[in-house]
Structure 1
Amino acid sequence: MPASSASPAWELARRGSCSRRRVPHDRVGRPERLMDPLQALAPRLAAGLVRLLGPTLRLRAEGIETLTSSWTAARPLIYCVWHGRILMVPWLNARLRESHGARTVSVLASRSRDGGLIAGYARRFGLDVVRGSSSRGGAGALRALVTAVRAGRDVALAPDGPRGPRGQLGSGIVTLAALTGAPVVPLGFAARPAWRLATWDGFQIPSPFARAALVFGTMTSIARDADRERARKELERSLDEATAAADRLVSA
């Protein structure tokens, strides 16, 4: 769908993350000292709106039965979802914890100002947050995630984030899976109708009462000595397939 001129929850959150340097006093008409309180308010506002939106969705889920045994075991999982489809993931995890015994997911947030915004939003749904720097090729973030998975925590990643290219799976998740031995579960999410923002990832926000679908794709393990590029392409294809399956469910 075309981008909407409305200001949905995540757009409000993004605006709240603007830095003082980019948003000078004379442009916004408010003292700079108000920007920090605004950023603190943005995650609460976004989470509140998503909590109102979520129960209105006509949600259909597929593939959950393949994961219920994993949720009761000690082996951690690595979930991946395209960056443009991440908005409802914290709410969905909270719902699955109540209905199917899913484990709490840890999400990665950088140590930047925007990362603080994401961390605040995720914590509103009871998610754990792993903080790690995305600089220097993402080495800091990878170390933080390896530590989390080895501690037995499930993690969720947007493998084309934080800046794209859209729909191109980065190598970090492959390295994480190979180093930890944790299987990767692709997540496809779709909603129709939905707003689609004019951002690099085509960020999607479901409309109230939209049809929605959550598809758990094929669980994949990556050996430490696997061909990393081949594994990356296969995982990218699996995530595309799960996303396409979710799109079909809401279009039927």
Structure 2
Amino acid sequence: MHGSMPKPKPNRRKKRPSLGRRLGRSAFVMRLAAFLIGSYIGFVRRTSRFDEDGPGLARLLESWNGGAPMIMAFWHGRLLMMARFRKGPTLRRIHVLISNHADGEIIARSIEGLGMSTVRGSSRKGGYAAMRELHQVIEAGGHAAFTPDGPSGPCMHAKGGTIAAASMGGIPVFPVTFSARRGPVLNSWDRFLLATPFNRGLYLVGEPFTVPPDLDETAFEQWRQRLEDDLNALTHEADRRMGRPRVEPPPPRVRGARR
């Protein structure tokens, strides 16, 4: 009986990342990108007029000006100008949850350059540690900020992290958004609004709500849906007042459906 000789395995060399990918991970490139983004946001804010309105504005400003901790929630597509909602020492008290991927690193550096603090993690990676850190921030009197549809969507569909954080400490959640008269909505997963300089803009603050502790699955979903509905209604209203067409969320994914 003749045994067959095993075929030698081909000597496969590990594929080297492309130049673009290597540059994207470069600390220098990240610092440069963060500087350019922060400079752009500051230039838009300085050359534009942004009004503030909404049923929750007065209560949010109470917390902003030294009051009790709060949670701000806004869609990822409206992230651009939220870092310059207001100036002052309160900015450093606001801790924004940012994901751990490379894009998140650039966003984090940009936000920190504008005066806010960041906490790293997401619903996928580092989520538990990030939530624990945010809880400690809130217990120490700080504020938290979430993009409930981040870091990768679906667009304008809230995940549960904001509600989970709010229920841990009985902290009021403020739905917040911005819109601007001029600037494109990018064809990105989050339908990102890129406000342009020399603009007219609007910050809208929705009615805050407080999430009770120890929620069962049904109650948790009701609060999550409320946040999603409030943010979508607020965003549609801000766009309407700025004369922009509505940005609609995609239909929810059906479980078991093929992508």
TM-score bin, normalised by smaller chain: 0.7 to 0.9
Q: In the alignment, is residue 140 of structure 1 matched against residue 129 of structure 2? A: yes
| TM-score between the two structures when normalised by the length of structure 2 | 0.78
Find the partner of 2:48 among 54, 57, 61: 57
Residue type matched to 2:58 in 1? E
Gapped regions of structure 2 (runs ≥ 5)? 1-14, 245-259
Inter-partner Cα distance in structure 1 for 2:213 and 2:153: 26
| Pairing of 1:146-157 with structure 2 (within 5 A) | 146-157=135-146
Find the partner of 1:211 among 178, 200, 204: 200
Inter-partner Cα distance in structure 1 for 2:193 and 2:178: 10
Inter-partner Cα distance in structure 1 for 2:210 and 2:241: 27
Q: C-alpha deviations, 1:36-61, integer Å up to 9, x for none?
A: 31122110111111111112222121
Residue type matched to 1:192 in 2? R
Q: Provide the residue aligned with 2:239 in structure 1.
A: 247
Task: Call closer, same or farther: CA 1:136–1:106 in 2, change over 3 Å.
Answer: closer
Residue type matched to 2:145 in 1? A
Q: In the alignment, is residue 40 of structure 1 matched against residue 31 of structure 2? A: yes
Inter-partner Cα distance in structure 2 for 1:246 and 1:48: 25
Residue type matched to 2:42 in 1? R
| TM-score between the two structures when normalised by the length of structure 1 | 0.80
Q: Provide the residue aligned with 1:229 in structure 2.
A: 221
| Pairing of 1:39-118 with structure 2 (within 5 A) | 39-63=30-54, 64-94=57-87, 97=88, 104-118=93-107
Find the partner of 2:18 among 4, 21, 24: 24
Contact 2:170 2:213 (C-alpha < 8 Å) held by counterparts: yes
| Pairing of 1:178-197 with structure 2 (within 5 A) | 178-197=167-186
Q: C-alpha deviations, 1:220-249, integer Å up to 9, x for none?
A: 000013411111111211111221221122
Inter-partner Cα distance in structure 2 for 1:33 and 1:251: 36
- Between stretches 59-68 and 114-123, larger displacement belongs to 59-68
Rg comparison, structure with higher value: 2
Q: How many residues align?
A: 225
Residue type matched to 1:181 in 2? G
Q: C-alpha deviations, 1:161-184, integer Å up to 9, x for none?
A: 001011101111111100111100
Residue type matched to 1:70 in 2? S
Inter-partner Cα distance in structure 1 for 2:230 and 2:22: 48
Inter-partner Cα distance in structure 1 for 2:230 and 2:97: 21
Task: Call closer, same or farther: CA 1:235–1:32 in 2, change over 3 Å.
Answer: closer
Residue type matched to 1:229 in 2? E
Inter-partner Cα distance in structure 2 for 1:207 and 1:78: 27
Inter-partner Cα distance in structure 2 for 1:33 and 1:167: 27
Residue type matched to 2:235 in 1? T
Contact 1:68 1:102 (C-alpha < 8 Å) held by counterparts: no
Cα offset, 1:75, TM superposition: 1.7
Residue type matched to 2:208 in 1? M
Inter-partner Cα distance in structure 2 for 1:150 and 1:34: 34
Inter-partner Cα distance in structure 2 for 1:205 and 1:22: 34
Task: Call closer, same or farther: CA 1:215–1:122 in 2, change over 3 Å.
Answer: same
- Matched residue SS, 1:194: coil
Aligned residues with identical type, % of pairs: 33
Gapped regions of structure 1 (runs ≥ 5)? 1-20
Task: Call closer, same or farther: CA 1:224–1:122 in 2, change over 3 Å.
Answer: same
Inter-partner Cα distance in structure 2 for 1:183 and 1:22: 48
Cα offset, 1:35, TM superposition: 3.4
Between Structure 1 and Structure 2, the one with more helix by share is 1
Contact 2:24 2:102 (C-alpha < 8 Å) held by counterparts: no
Q: CA RMSD in A?
A: 2.7
